[in-house]
Amino acid sequence: MDADTREVLGFKASWQRNSLDALLFLKDVLRLCRNKPLFLVDKGPWYPWALMRLELRFRQMTFGLRNSIEQWFSHLKAGTKRFYNNFPHGSSLESVQTYLAIHTATYNLLMSFG
């Protein structure tokens, strides 16, 4: 998420959280960036290796500017509760990605009006 505009720049669903998934995701996000921005990440242990490998600047933080991404996750979780907390249980990774794409596009559209 762009900390200034609050636009979600990318997302990726995976079955696990690890440094390799973070590295592949960051490579995809960097294609949308004009430069190498400062990345604000939580204290997930999978981030530092991936960010250092790509020679990116980052700051680990829990609050502050990261609040906008936490608000997006809250919005996402509120949407999935409509599925009675069973989503994505039994879903394919492709269907989760499709849901995230629709959710993100809607979120970004609504943010552009606000």
- Which two three-digit tokens encode residue 49? 């290796």
pLDDT at residue 54 tops 90: yes
Q: Where are the domains of the chain?
A: 19-113
pLDDT score recorded for residue 76: 81
Tens digit of pLDDT for each residue in 62-99?
Answer: 777 666 777 787 878 887 777 766 666 778 889 888 98
CA-to-CA distance for 1 and 70, rounded, in angstroms? 10
pLDDT score recorded for residue 66: 62
Q: Which parts of the chain fold into alpha helices (H)?
A: 19-30, 47-53, 67-80, 93-113
Q: What is the DSSP letter of 62?
A: S
